[in-house]
Amino acid sequence: MDPQQQSAIQGAKVLMVGAGGIGCELLKTLALSGFHDIHIIDMDTIEVSNLNRQFLFRRSHVGQSKAKVARDAVLRFRPHINIRSYHANVKNPEFDVDFFKQFDVVLNGLDNLDARRHVNRLCLAADVPLVESGTTGFLGQVTVHVKGKTECYECQTKPTPKTYPVCTITSTPTKFVHCIVWAKDLLFAKLFGDKNQDNDLNVRAKKEASSSKETEDVFERAEDEDIEQYGRKIYDHVFGYNIEAALSNEETWKNRTRPRPIYSKEVLPESLTQKNGSTQNCSATDVDDSTVSAMPLLGLKNPQELWGLTQNSLVFIEALKLFFAKRKKEIGHLTFDKDDQLAVEFVTAAANIRAESFGIPLHSLFEAKGIAGNIVHAVATTNAIVAGLIVIEAIKVLKKDEDKYRMTYCLEHPSRKMLLMPVEPFEPNPSCYVCSKTPLVLEINTQKSKLRDLVDKIVKAKLGMNLPLIMHGASLLYEVGDDLDDIMVANYNANLEKFLSELPSPVINGSTLTVEDLQQELSCKINVKHREEFDEEKEPEGMVLSGWTQSPPTKGESASTSKNESDVDVTESSSGPEIASKKRRLSETEPKNHKRETENVEGEDDDYLMEIEDDDLTEIENPMTVSKKKKRVA
Ligand SMILES: Nc1ncnc2c1ncn2[C@@H]1O[C@H](COP(=O)(O)OP(=O)(O)OP(=O)(O)O)[C@@H](O)[C@H]1O
Ligand SMILES: [Zn+2]
């Protein structure tokens, strides 16, 4: 190690945010690389499911602070360095701009967009460089954000999670994921969630069956209605009657495979109670609520096993019965949670029955859970590689080696025999509302939208502000804070319920709002454009925010529009790394460009490119992909 590098490391005070999968690796690598002064923030406690990859933690630590246990574990092999841990949310007010200013570099090992954006803003306000990271399975990325020199974390819009057209979900599913979304967001939500929420599920009973009460909601369960009968009624309605109703619309099925209605009497014995014991056999004290499960009652042990239609139907009825028998108090407030075993069982079974009906291949509970919870299984090696890359970039930042900064993407499959793809960082996006002063544009119906809509849908949800303040000219329309007196709070609350054009200082076409977050020290302008109509399907929020655009290609790179092997295509997912928002292409047609990039990073201490031979391909391939290939050959 050269002396310059050594002194950069030894003199550095570093803040790490997140002590999870990446964080554990990172703390170890920092300590072993000679860093002396490390602060760690993590708000979580250790869970059993973390132990397979968060190697600083042991079973005896479950329930304890991640930041503290990580610190203690590393101090055992590096006793003389200073590590300070904070068991707290990085968004807490104590971590303000002054707090951030004490550090030479901030290193993120987070798992959500919200916290990442918050740290980005504090780093900009405190003028501290940020090294950002994320991993999803085999994919990963490390990016460098230095104010004024490279783009900030928010210079490019992040893709929102994938959504599906409503009609695909409600009427014409073609993939298993469509059945999962239906089971989770429509059926589960309707049965166990907030009854007052809008739901696209067809809930009206068959006309003949309810001639007197045509608008009756079949999902309503009468107080004394037998749970199994109720379960069968729901089953017949959603898998039988609703499918038949959909089939009656011939147009829909002209170019599609017609689904098959399925009724419970075709697949289930007349009464389940005698057959498998069921809920009647387990008294209320048998199990605690969080571990209630239908599988053991039905003799199903292996979550990776594929259940047939009958087994799925049994799980469907049994899980529904258990919700009513054991978790009645929660009904009406539940939202799907991937860690809720009974919810996963119910959703798996419902999705599989629907899949059977539409001729879509069925999936195991394990696979369904992964799809429903957006789970990509973490790969410890990717976290370790990413942690190493973070330290490499941190050292460059500390040495102010600007020309050597790289954004590095870990790929699942080698591109040009490389698994790690380094690219030069973009320059700051001149129209980024976070790191430049460019105003945003908001199209909104100023006579029909309330200030509350603007605060919830734009200022909080889109702009990610925690403690917002909204001004129109000199008039303060809204503010959040502990130090407000009652009269002010009452005033702001009253404003929230007013239409924009009826506020004390009316917000109309051409108005400019100033929106600030005092904690993040972020201020931006929003130019308001009045618009009468919005497309309900395409613009369901009834307002459109625009203004900041993709940043221009960085020097020496051409922006790619075509998709080819060498596109490095890494994006945002709330859970982790971000495979694919921008295409930073090392173009096939520009071999020199690629060579230059490669050579740059292969200098002195930058020999971290992982090159592999084609023959090695299967070594690193996802076993799923390999087996699929084999199948195709056979
Ligand atoms: N706002 C925040 N403040 C502090 N720490 C945060 C914040 N948001 C996320 N984190 C921490 O970032 C870490 C991310 O680690 P990781 O991606 O491995 O997630 P995990 O929760 O440990 O694992 P998994 O989600 O896979 O069960 C977590 O330890 C989490 O507590
Ligand atoms: Zn920016």
Q: What ipTM, to 2 d.p.?
A: 0.98
Ligand having the closest approach to the CA of 120: 2
Chain mean pLDDT for the chain: 83
CATH number of the domain enclosing 281: 1.10.10.520
Confidence of residue 627 (pLDDT cuts 50, 70, 90): very low
DSSP 362: P
Atom 19 in ligand 1: residue holding the nearest Cα: 20
Q: What is the pTM of this model?
A: 0.71
- In this prediction, residues 310-335 reach a mean pLDDT of 95
Using DSSP's 3-state secondary structure scheme, residue 356 falls into: helix
Any atom of ligand 1 within 6 Å of the Cβ of 412: no
The proportion of the chain whose per-residue pLDDT surpasses 70, expressed as a percent, equals 81
pLDDT at residue 399, as a whole number = 96
Do 428 and 448 reside in the same domain of the chain? no
CATH number of the domain enclosing 500: 3.10.290.20
- In this prediction, residues 273-294 reach a mean pLDDT of 56
Do 362 and 221 reside in the same domain of the chain? yes
Do 89 and 153 reside in the same domain of the chain? yes
Distance 18 CA to ligand 1 centre (A): 6
Q: Which domain covers residue 595, as residue numbers?
A: 1-160+375-436+554-634
pLDDT at residue 377, as a whole number = 84
Do 313 and 444 reside in the same domain of the chain? no
Any atom of ligand 1 within 6 Å of the Cβ of 51: no
pLDDT at position 255 over 90: no
Q: Would you say 588 and 580 are in contact if contact means Cβ atoms under 8 Å apart? A: no
Atom 2 in ligand 1: residue holding the nearest Cα: 89
Ligand having the closest approach to the CA of 45: 1
Q: Reading across the β-sheet that carries 512-517, which strands appear in turn?
A: 475-479, 468-472, 512-517, 522-530, 440-444, 543-546
Out of 22, 44, 56, 118, mutate this one to test ligand 1's pocket (max ligand atoms within 8 Å of CB): namely 44
Ligand having the closest approach to the CA of 158: 2
pLDDT at residue 574, as a whole number = 39
Do 288 and 306 reside in the same domain of the chain? yes
CATH number of the domain enclosing 390: 3.40.50.720
Any atom of ligand 1 within 6 Å of the Cβ of 24: no
Any atom of ligand 1 within 6 Å of the Cβ of 297: no
* Euclidean distance between CA atoms 342 and 339, whole angstroms: 9
- In this prediction, residues 89-97 reach a mean pLDDT of 95
152 annotated to a ligand binding site = yes
Distance 53 CA to ligand 1 centre (A): 13
Of the residues 546, 580, 604, the one at which a domain ends: 546
* Euclidean distance between CA atoms 573 and 116, whole angstroms: 12
Of the residues 546, 568, 593, the one at which a domain ends: 546
Any atom of ligand 1 within 6 Å of the Cβ of 115: yes
Report how far apart, in Å, the C-alpha atoms of 450 and of each of 45, 404, 441, 457, 504 are: 39, 49, 17, 11, 13
Pairing outcome for strands 440-444 and 475-479: unpaired
Do 381 and 464 reside in the same domain of the chain? no
Hey, which residues are catalytic here?
167
* Euclidean distance between CA atoms 87 and 65, whole angstroms: 6
pLDDT at position 140 over 50: yes
pLDDT, greater one: 602 or 493: 493
pLDDT at position 328 over 80: yes
435 annotated to a ligand binding site = yes
Ligand having the closest approach to the CA of 549: 2
Distance 132 CA to ligand 1 centre (A): 14
Using DSSP's 3-state secondary structure scheme, residue 98 falls into: helix
Do 336 and 397 reside in the same domain of the chain? no
Distance 429 CA to ligand 2 centre (A): 6
pLDDT, greater one: 594 or 358: 358
Do 306 and 184 reside in the same domain of the chain? yes
| DSSP string for residues in 476-533 | EEEE--TT--HHHHHHHHHHHTSBGGGSSS---TT-EEEEEETTTTEEEEEEEEE-S-
DSSP 93: T
Amino acid identity of residue 200, one-letter, is D
pLDDT at residue 549, as a whole number = 54
Amino acid identity of residue 124, one-letter, is L
Name residue, tokens 């056979």.
Answer: 634
| DSSP string for residues in 206-273 | PTGGGSTTTT-BTT---TT--HHHHHHHHHIIIIIIHHHHHHT-GGGGTTSPPP----HHHHS-S-HH
Any atom of ligand 1 within 6 Å of the Cβ of 111: yes
> 523 phi and psi, to 5 degrees?
-135, 135
Do 223 and 344 reside in the same domain of the chain? yes
Q: How many domains does the chain contain in total?
A: 3
* Euclidean distance between CA atoms 268 and 239, whole angstroms: 13
Q: Would you say 499 and 446 are in contact if contact means Cβ atoms under 8 Å apart? A: yes
- In this prediction, residues 468-495 reach a mean pLDDT of 92
pLDDT at position 601 over 50: no
Out of 25, 43, 94, mutate this one to test ligand 1's pocket (max ligand atoms within 8 Å of CB): namely 43
517 annotated to a ligand binding site = no
Do 507 and 525 reside in the same domain of the chain? yes
Q: Which two tokens stand for residue 574?
A: 């709330």
Confidence of residue 449 (pLDDT cuts 50, 70, 90): very high
Do 508 and 405 reside in the same domain of the chain? no
User: What b/e string do you get for 230-267 counting C-beta neighbours within 10 Å, with b at 16 or more?
Assistant: bbbbbbbbbbbbbbebbeeeeeeeeeeeebebbbbeeb
Q: Would you say 133 and 143 are in contact if contact means Cβ atoms under 8 Å apart? A: yes
Atom 3 in ligand 1: residue holding the nearest Cα: 89
Do 153 and 177 reside in the same domain of the chain? no
Q: Would you say 142 and 408 are in contact if contact means Cβ atoms under 8 Å apart? A: yes
β-strand partners of 471: 476, 514
pLDDT at position 580 over 70: no
Any atom of ligand 1 within 6 Å of the Cβ of 399: no
pLDDT at residue 160, as a whole number = 65
pLDDT at position 410 over 50: yes
Q: Which two tokens stand for residue 581?
A: 């928002």
